[in-house]
């Protein structure tokens, strides 16, 4: 199952970078607080890099999968609520749904990844 987790986190990291990095150059016209916008993008990009790191060794980094799940939920739930209240464009729901799916896949990865580390090799 570690192969599943590797693939899930690798795809999530690559997808996230593809979606987020262009946002640095597509600045909305009326930004009252640009530091919030760029802070959000920067934090989200940092998490994508974390997903790529997790994909390299899921068993060792299994504890970090839990905050990764939270990262997906804290975006998707508020966006879905705001869209349902007609306070955001319906197209935002697509990205929220993708993040919700990734959060579910992260949870499945966490549940099925063994937390056992390989034995240390003696240097002697």
For the whole model, what pTM was predicted?
0.87
pLDDT tier at 118, thresholds 50, 70, 90:
low
Q: Are 115 and 62 in contact (CB under 8 A)?
A: yes
Q: Please tell me the predicted confidence (pLDDT) of residue 84.
A: 97
pLDDT tier at 119, thresholds 50, 70, 90:
low
Question: In the predicted model, what is the mean pLDDT of residues 68-80?
Answer: 96
pLDDT tier at 27, thresholds 50, 70, 90:
confident
End-to-end distance of the chain based on CA atoms, in angstroms?
33
Half-sphere exposure of 6 (CA within 13 A, CB side): 7
Q: Please tell me the predicted confidence (pLDDT) of residue 19.
A: 96
């Amino acid at each position: 199952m570690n192969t599943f987790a590797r693939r899930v986190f690798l795809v999530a990291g690559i997808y996230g970078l593809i979606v987020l990095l262009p946002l640095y150059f597509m600045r909305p016209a009326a930004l009252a607080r640009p530091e919030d916008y760029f802070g959000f993008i920067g934090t989200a990009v940092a998490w994508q890099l974390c997903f790529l790191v997790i994909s390299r060794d899921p068993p060792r980094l299994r504890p970090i999968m839990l905050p990764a799940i939270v990262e997906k939920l804290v975006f998707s739930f508020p966006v879905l609520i705001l869209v349902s209240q007609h306070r955001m464009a319906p197209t935002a729901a697509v990205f929220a749904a993708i993040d919700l799916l990734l959060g579910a896949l992260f949870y499945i990865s966490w549940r099925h990844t063994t937390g056992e580390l390989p034995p240390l090799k003696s240097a002697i």
